[in-house]
Amino acid sequence: MTFNPPLPAALRPDTAALPRWLSIVGIGEDGPEGLSPVARDLIGDAEVVFGGRRHLGLAAPLIRGATKAWPSPFDGAATEVLQHRGHPVCVLATGDPFNYGVGAVLARHVDVTEMVVVPAPSAFSLSAARLGWSLPQAVLLSLHGGPESQFRPGFDPWIQYMVNELGFAVIAPNVRGSSGYGKTYMALDNGVLREDAVKDVGALLVWIGLQKDLDAKHVVVAGGSYGGYLTLATLVNYSDRLRGGVDVSGIADFVSFLTNTAPYRQNQRRMEYGDERDLEMRSFLRRISPVTNADRITRPLLVVHGKNDPRVPVSEAEQIVNKVRAKGGEVWYLLAADEGHGYRKKQNRDAYYETFAQFLMMLRN
């Protein structure tokens, strides 16, 4: 699966999947100003834009191609849309296209692998309310890196967006190995104890299943760096309890990671994870590595990485992407050619957030 809308030149999304010629964009009364950059690009790049007269009027400043007003009911326009198959077509809709019917109608005629659906952020909460959803029900598990880092209360705009616009409850655990709870706790995941941290995530999934206000059938796991490893390991061990996962700059194979990370970090990381030059430890690290167990990842995966990452080399991303796909798994892959460990440049971070949000919305559908 690929993220096909235009991205900054430095970004190189994977192009293995079918081209997505059809975009369905939700537009609210706030018009172009309420649309994301991806939505604006989809409208501007379309050869033909379909929509109601009100929709076309709202989007007029962005439209460069031909326009066609669709009839009511919309079902009769599906045949006309299909006549443009293979060419960039944009269909404008109210709010969340699937919730208001347009996307659902087109999905009966067009495979979902050929379309991109972008709800209007301003209307998503209203759509969910009309369906009777309790917005905090879907869960995103956010796993920190380090491993010795620690989640503490603070303002995070991205978390606010996921909660208030996408309707996720965000849970950020400090699994064993985190700092802030004493040296003994911080050492509980060292070396051969590594998988105990993954078991903490498994215990959290059990807890989520016992909460009446959380939907255990809609849980997504995400993390960066070491948190990316935890994300992959959680997918390996608990795919049946998850909807999908987001791996950002994560470790896929401890042996290749320790071999290829920047020399100044190698000995420090060996103290944490174990020395891959020791045959017994090497065998253990290989056994627990996500790339070794990629066939157990049975849920959609988004992999995000920087090509120039000196800490977790891009080969880690390439390994897990190739291995999961070879086993028939669904992977979105976003690679920034001008980034290192994490995305720092605004245009790249914007593209990352857009991709992340679209991935989450796909999992909700």
Report the 10 Å Cβ neighbour count for 348.
22
Distance in angstroms (rounded) separating the CA atoms of residues 63 and 43: 6
Tell me the β-bridge partners of 141.
171, 221
Phi-psi region of 26 (alpha: psi -120 to 50; beta: other; left: phi over 0): beta
In 222-262, which residue ranges form alpha helices assigned H by DSSP? 226-238, 254-260
User: By C-alpha distance, which of 250, 269, 264 is closest to 319?
Assistant: 250
What does the DSSP 8-state code read for residue 340?
B
For Cα atoms 34, 38, 43, give the angle at the middle one, nearest 5 degrees. 80
Contact present, 303 and 333 (Cβ < 8 Å): yes
Tell me the β-bridge partners of 26.
93
User: By C-alpha distance, which of 39, 42, 47, 77 is closest to 64?
Assistant: 47
The secondary structure of 7-58 as a DSSP string is --TTB-----S----EEEEEE-TTGGGGS-HHHHHHHHH-SEEEE-HHHHHH
**Residue positions annotated with a catalytic role:** 225, 309, 341
Distance in angstroms (rounded) separating the CA atoms of residues 358 and 364: 10
Tell me the backbone φ, ψ of residue 22, rounded to 5 degrees: -110, 125
User: By C-alpha distance, which of 152, 141, 158 is closest to 235?
Assistant: 141
